[in-house]
Structure 1
Amino acid sequence: MGKVIGIDLGTTNSCVSVAENGEPVIIPGASGSMTTPSVVAFTKKGERLVGEAARRQAATNPERTISSVKRHMGTEWSTRIDGTDYKAQTISAMVLMQLKKDAEDFLGAPVTEAVITVPAYFNNIQRQATKDAGRIAGLNVKRIINEPTSAALSYGLNHGEPQKVMVYDLGGGTFDVSIIEIGEGVIEVLATAGDNHLGGDDFDERITQWLVRRFKEENGADLTRDFAAMQRVREAAEQAKKELSASESAHIMLPYLTQHRGEMLHMDLTFTRGQFQDLIEDLIERTAQPVHSALSDAGIAPAELGRVLLVGGSTRIPAVQEKVRALTGKEPSRNINPDECVAKGAAILGSTLEGNSLVAAGTDKNLLLLDVTPLSLSIETVGGVATRLIERNSTLPTRYSRIFSTAAPYQRSVDIHVLQGERPMARDNKTIGKFKLKGIKAAPAGVPQIEVTFDIDANGILKVSARDLDTGKQQSITITSNDSMSEDEIQQAIRDAQVYAGQDQTRKDAMEVLGDAQRLMAETEQKLKEKKKELDRGTKKQVKADVNRLNKLTMKCRLDKVTEAQLAEIKEAMRQLEESARSL
């Protein structure tokens, strides 16, 4: 069996790791960086770019560049490019395919299995969407693990002493906080809370809007009408945010930004840390409630925390660190890399799923991981009430059954509405599925006994089954949702991904072949020029004819439509030219 890789599929950046000799190592991306931008772009020539290459061209190709797609996982969001609709799962799969390729290049062997991390507050549909993205990318997703739990697993491998740890995970698009107990080789999640729409993207947007307002005040020009200018401003906003983690001010200089009334305008502004903190103060304050909630659910006071771990790039912001100090009374630990620890934890779990034993530091015991479900699971009952079957922060995996009955006399079927959330009324929670149980024995209302079982696996993904206790008839129910991809859609996406992979390889081969062909023609032309007077007429004519034939084939070759047959024809023409040019 090959290696199981660990993937942190992030909103802004993604990271991949693998366990080597019991220690997780980060696999560098194609550009040599330890993280890969979660960005996908389609060029007008039909080429698909992923990662750093996609991010670099975003300013010149904003309408065909997709980023922060993680925020759309498990929703009906899609984008249409060149007549094709792409769902969030498909775009995420393209990022995963790049990480898979990077891992294969690093290991020198095929990679087919992975552990993928998700925000702790992802619901059932979002988790399933992430698993679907992995399938599309050609990965067997062995486990879905919560990001804070994964970070704690990475930390716990080297810090086995008993302690309660808070993981404060603020990334590009999501915020999670988990209270985790580490002790005697066991890593147990006590409680988790969070906000799936809070992160660095929101900070970037606040800076972007501030820059747009200032520019309009100073120049009278509305940048929001200029797509390319807005992309440059967004990139500058993100860069300024990073600079302000180390400096008190950032100088934003964007020459030739836009044209207004025939005049070319430039942006030249100074943005201070104080201005930045004022802009995002309310966003940082939004992290307080989940922290209080998680501590309350875990039944501990901040003073009982042994460590506070900061995870996610956004925790580098000084105002965020100050907020964590205020909330916990603790100095945040700097023992882990906030960008890499989540992927490393996933790689550790992947190694254990391969059958390897990992021993916690300071103990002789193998690590045992106990995670929790982030949200309560309910079904709708009479009066629109959400009747809970599984409470939030229940340890995974878990299974719970409850007996229900009919509300109307001689009812032959019941509609079961499955919900996820904490509100008392069904309408206020997230619908994650509906199904109909048929074939119930006709009887007065309240007489049939229908046992409904909720079964949550280690990935936090829910399966539901129902049984009529009177007849013994049992039926397993697969919950489907409008937000999920059907099996047919997944299979089509897998086929499309394979086609794309083939096209990408063909384009890469074509670029190499065309480069070799250009060099061969240039060298041959130079030799013809040098030996012009020494060559007989027949040789000169043959070489020139071969050069012209190869040149015509290369001119006809378009990277966006190149085929294997075209490449074969060019290679044959190169072979003929090399043969005829031997006499030069």
Structure 2
Amino acid sequence: MIVGIDLGTTHSLIGVYAADGPRLIRNALGSLLTPSAVSVDEDDRVIVGLAARERLVSHPRQSVAAFKRWMGSDRVTALGSHRFRPEELSALVLKSLIADAEADLGERVAEAVISVPAYFSDSQRKATRIAGELAGIKVERLINEPTAAALAYGLQQSDDGGRYLIFDLGGGTFDVSILELFDGIMEVHASAGDNFLGGEDFSRALLDGFLREHGLSASALPLGELAVLERRIEAFKKQLASGGEATLELTLSGQARSWRLDEDGFARLCEPLVQRLRAPLERAMRDAKLTPGQLDQIVLVGGASRMPLCAKLVSRMFGRLPLRHLNPDEAIAHGACVAAGMKARNQALEEVVLTDVCPHSLGVSTGQEVDGRYVNGLFSPIIHRNSTVPVSRVERYFPVHDQQRKVELEIYQGESPRVENNVRLGAITIELPAKARQDNPIDVRFTYDINGLLQVEAEAVASGLKREVVLEKNPGVLSPEQIRERLQALAALKVHPREHQENVALVARAERLYEELLWAREQVQLALVRFRNVLDLQDDALIAEHRRDFAHFLDAVEAQANGA
């Protein structure tokens, strides 16, 4: 069985391509959205999903979220006695999703198509594949999130074809892709984006605005109070996104605080972020060599695209209203399911050729004489960003000195004119015959394939000697030996059983409310102790009955806290 997965910064989803089209699968709590959060409890057991997100308030040092932004790095997060890399945290979320799918489908999931931001680097894509491997599934295919969105909208079924701009603003990343559909081919013309811009940043802008308004500092607030404020700010942002104005009222450091904001005030607070949205849109249009009038449709996806300022920005820039009739939280997951169906060669799907582009420029470090002074560390691109893959390009270089017998070519990825600001991928060394520099050229060929593998070949033209390297590894990406070690470590973890997740989530929710609401502490604590006592009896029927009552009680407490 092949599934489609949207591995998101804030939420993740899983589904399949069924007889009637893409179908998303609910988790053990009955929700399609599984929060991308991981926590470790007092017994050193791992918690994933809603309960882990609730524990961000009550147990901030044992819980983590938004780790998708760290993919491709060697950052380590300590939770309890465990230390996790971003791939491992993502693997735990994938394991939870797969368990839900297997419970629903009644068969083993062996393979997945996972969506990734179009602007993810090679190291981030490889880290995503490794996360799948650590979760026990094969991930041969990654699909760019904007391309998945196009599949979800069924654009590939359009008889007339056309050019489409996909605007994808998720919880942690922003992507723009320009696609053209013709004769059964979905071709990506350009991709741009920002891997550190998403709904979380707009929430942060609101948080900073609230703190400034009240003369507070985030560093001076207790962790628990800061977590409560962050949670309330998130709800406040959603209220603003539904239009009109919103009011936030809560108690911090023993003092009641109130803040009222309308849509225009929100837009002013977020103006620097809106400008960051504008830059990738302009870059993608330039790279695709298109004018706004040459686009047939603009599609908004990603949960954060619900903010009215997104539709306003697109309407001002392109002179038309965007499409957004699909649930923006679910669109990419639907597209990943369609891609999974295509990979499984589902007969209900027409064969569509999906092309892709290289999201970042690839080249070597060179030097150049400028005004009588030799300057090193300059970036010389060989494959420019947004080249359609697979692609192969060759450039000719010369040694610095006459009679130079060896050259080391350092390989970089990025868009800066100086290599120190780009990402070093590796190096290749080639021996040269003793000749004058102008008679001793080196031809360097870069070949980049659909799976993100870069092959570099250097040829000393005068001697015919060739050297070759295939860059499958990137800085910060686990080696095969490390993957085997991490697999063993993850297999040894104690993870809460899927059938207990409802109980774990309720307990975590009660602990969060106890942390947040001073006036309700006695009631919440009493109800929590009673529910724990019932859990100790291990009577499933009795637990189910008390779980319903406990959930209703917590609903009432939360409604009272929110003034409902």
TM-score, structure 1 as length reference: 0.79
- The one-letter code of the counterpart of 2:332 is V
Corresponding position of 1:369: 354
- Asked if structure 2 preserves the Cα contact closer than 8 Å seen for 1:415 and 1:434, the reply is no
Corresponding position of 1:249: 245
Q: Which has more radius of gyration?
A: 1
Aligned match for 2:66, one of 44, 65, 68: 68
Classify 1:222/1:311 alpha carbon distance in 2 versus 1 (closer, same or farther; 3 Å).
closer
- The one-letter code of the counterpart of 1:376 is S
**Higher mean Cα deviation, 448-457 or 307-316?**
448-457
Aligned match for 1:434, one of 426, 441, 445: 426
Corresponding position of 1:125: 123
Q: Does 1:518 align with 2:537?
A: yes
**Secondary structure at the residue paired with 2:316?**
helix
- The one-letter code of the counterpart of 1:377 is L
- Asked if structure 2 preserves the Cα contact closer than 8 Å seen for 1:125 and 1:432, the reply is no
Corresponding position of 1:328: 318
Distance 1:477 1:157 in 2: 34
Classify 1:387/1:28 alpha carbon distance in 2 versus 1 (closer, same or farther; 3 Å).
same
Q: Does 1:499 align with 2:489?
A: no
Classify 1:418/1:222 alpha carbon distance in 2 versus 1 (closer, same or farther; 3 Å).
closer
Aligned match for 1:225, one of 221, 245, 258: 221
Distance 2:96 2:458 in 1: 41
Distance 2:156 2:432 in 1: 55
- Asked if structure 2 preserves the Cα contact closer than 8 Å seen for 1:161 and 1:184, the reply is no
Q: Does 1:164 align with 2:163?
A: yes
- The one-letter code of the counterpart of 1:456 is Y
Shift of 1:135: 1.4
- Asked if structure 2 preserves the Cα contact closer than 8 Å seen for 1:397 and 1:460, the reply is no
Corresponding position of 1:443: 434
Shift of 1:201: 0.7
TM-score, structure 2 as length reference: 0.81
Distance 1:252 1:506 in 2: 36
Corresponding position of 1:302: 292
Corresponding position of 2:3: 5
Distance 1:358 1:464 in 2: 40
- The one-letter code of the counterpart of 1:174 is T
Classify 1:62/1:225 alpha carbon distance in 2 versus 1 (closer, same or farther; 3 Å).
same
**Secondary structure at the residue paired with 1:315?**
helix
Aligned match for 1:400, one of 384, 393, 396: 393
- The one-letter code of the counterpart of 1:323 is L
- The one-letter code of the counterpart of 1:285 is Q
Distance 2:157 2:428 in 1: 49
- Asked if structure 2 preserves the Cα contact closer than 8 Å seen for 1:396 and 1:460, the reply is no
Classify 1:458/1:39 alpha carbon distance in 2 versus 1 (closer, same or farther; 3 Å).
same
- Asked if structure 2 preserves the Cα contact closer than 8 Å seen for 1:416 and 1:436, the reply is yes
Shift of 1:413: 4.8
Classify 1:254/1:112 alpha carbon distance in 2 versus 1 (closer, same or farther; 3 Å).
farther
Q: How far does the alpha carbon of each residue in 1:467-507 deviate from its partner, in whole angstroms, 9 at most, with x for none?
A: 6674655543335443222322222221122222x654499
Q: How far does the alpha carbon of each residue in 1:531-556 deviate from its partner, in whole angstroms, 9 at most, with x for none?
A: xxxxxxxxxxxxxxxxxxxxxxxxxx
- Asked if structure 1 preserves the Cα contact closer than 8 Å seen for 2:300 and 2:324, the reply is yes
Classify 1:410/1:280 alpha carbon distance in 2 versus 1 (closer, same or farther; 3 Å).
same
The within-5 A match list for 1:126-141 is 126-141=124-139
Classify 1:458/1:344 alpha carbon distance in 2 versus 1 (closer, same or farther; 3 Å).
farther
Classify 1:448/1:350 alpha carbon distance in 2 versus 1 (closer, same or farther; 3 Å).
farther
**Secondary structure at the residue paired with 1:57?**
helix
- The one-letter code of the counterpart of 2:247 is H
Shift of 1:172: 1.0
Distance 1:382 1:193 in 2: 28
Shift of 1:277: 1.8
**Higher mean Cα deviation, 334-343 or 88-97?**
334-343
Corresponding position of 1:379: 364
- Asked if structure 2 preserves the Cα contact closer than 8 Å seen for 1:413 and 1:436, the reply is no
Q: How far does the alpha carbon of each residue in 1:526-581 deviate from its partner, in whole angstroms, 9 at most, with x for none?
A: xxxxxxxxxxxxxxxxxxxxxxxxxxxxxxxxxxxxxxxxxxxxxxxxxxxxxxxx
Shift of 1:374: 1.5
Corresponding position of 1:315: 305
- The one-letter code of the counterpart of 1:239 is A
- The one-letter code of the counterpart of 2:129 is K
Q: Does 1:180 align with 2:150?
A: no
Classify 1:399/1:353 alpha carbon distance in 2 versus 1 (closer, same or farther; 3 Å).
farther
Corresponding position of 1:538: none
Distance 1:473 1:454 in 2: 13
The answer for unaligned runs of 5 or more in structure 1 is 259-263, 361-365, 524-584
Corresponding position of 2:270: 280
Q: How far does the alpha carbon of each residue in 1:193-213 deviate from its partner, in whole angstroms, 9 at most, with x for none?
A: 111111111111111122233
Shift of 1:148: 0.8
- Asked if structure 2 preserves the Cα contact closer than 8 Å seen for 1:223 and 1:229, the reply is no
Paired-residue identity, %: 33
The within-5 A match list for 1:453-472 is 453-466=445-458, 470=463
Classify 1:413/1:163 alpha carbon distance in 2 versus 1 (closer, same or farther; 3 Å).
same
